[in-house]
Amino acid sequence: MTDWGARAAAMLAQLSHLSEPGPGVTRLPFTPEHRAALHLLKEWMEAVGLAVTLDDAGTLVGRLDGPPGAGTFLMGSHQDSVREGGAYDGIMGVVLPLLALEKLKAEGVALTFAVEILAFADEEGVRFPTALVGSRALAGRFDNQVLDMCDANSVSLRTAMADFGLKPDAIGALKRDQDDVIGFLETHIEQGPVLEREEEAVGIVTAICGIERHQITVTGETGHAGTLPMEGRRDALVGAAAIVAEANRIGIHVPDLRATVGSLSVEPNVVNAVPHTVRLTAELRSPQDDTREAAGKMLRRFVRILADEMGLLIEWTRTYSQVAQPCSHDFAVHLERAVKQTGGRSVSLPSGATHDASAMADLCPIAMLFVRCRNGASHRPDEFTAPEDMDTAIDVLARFLQITGRQ
């Protein structure tokens, strides 16, 4: 009997070496490392009997045809990584579905629809200040203006793609026919502690959280730290600290909300002067858009009151907004059946991180399967998912495809 989890671990270990030098995995889009990963994935896809193509967004597509006139079910994730990331984030979601198809083939199971395995080029947005290029292209939501965005070496996305042998001006033609696409399933490490705490190998994602980000600038008045009286100070950092604390308080007390101040800069940032300007970001995430939007209004109301009380000028700009994407109820039911057939309890949980599935939701119904990762670690070299958990996930994916085909 094939040990599918061990197969997955060996394949991911092989892919992990296709990286820039240094700790962990650094594999950015449209680079020699990306090219090497595509070559290896293509070899594996063809060995399973898939017809393999590379589209003009850099997505590797492995297709297993179904009966004439049947629709197509899409599965996959991204091949790129953050700098000094792990060997599982993204790329595991390409390897496990491929092995699920191989497992079905070995068992003599023929599906009632076509399946495509997708390896997207750029989900992380590390090299260029944009992301989800391949998935947005398939969904017909690609913005051609991002082609002029440049990396740290002033290379534009357009140039990088052209040098990779792609035709970036043809990306618009990649939009898929909604009538042909049955759905999209992305498999991903959880990037959190829930499954480990629940002692479950896999979990079913209910929704991908909506996100909003705010740039906040607090302006007060500087002065000598030793001579300016405490009473009446207009200390921008004290005001900013109150905002940080309030964002944290809201995040703790509002259910299904994540609130984070992740960036903060102080001027003049010297030991003996009262800060006159602080710039900070506030990010809010929730699987319910009304919860996220209400939390944003709550924080902004606090900021207005704070500005009046402390005599500060506080400027607030919403710089980013992304709606939540609920996962398909029908696909969740199919996944639940598949998980229970493997002996699992079918734990459900939202995804706080954005994935290619969030862009694919503009094309078709989506589903996500999370796989347990050790200590919830992600985006770092010690990222790890046990072979036995990947074995369970492969079994679930194979069963899911059969269940979906019978509906």
pLDDT, tens digit (0-9, with 9 covering 90-100), for 263-282: 999 999 999 999 999 999 99
Q: What is the CATH number of domain 215-322?
A: 3.30.70.360
Give the DSSP H or E segment for 319: strand 313-322
Q: Where are the beta strands (DSSP E) in 136-241?
A: 181-189, 202-208, 210-219
322 falls in which pLDDT band (50, 70, 90)? Answer: confident
Q: Where are the beta strands (DSSP E) in 6-113?
A: 51-54, 60-64, 72-78
- Residue 91 CB: number of other CB atoms within 10 A? 26
User: What residue ranges do the domains of the chain occupy?
Assistant: 4-208+324-405, 215-322
Does the structural domain 4-208+324-405 have CATH classification 3.40.630.10? yes
Coil, helix or strand for 259? Answer: strand
pLDDT, one tens digit per residue, over 363-375 is 999 999 999 999 9
- Mean pLDDT score across all residues of the chain: 97
Q: What pLDDT shows up at residue 320?
A: 86
Please name which of 230, 232, 283 lies closest in space to residue 258, comparing C-alpha atoms.
283
Question: What six digits make up the tokens of 325?
Answer: 């994407």
Question: What six digits make up the tokens of 291?
Answer: 């919860």
- pLDDT at 1 > cutoff 90: no
Q: What pLDDT shows up at residue 268?
A: 97
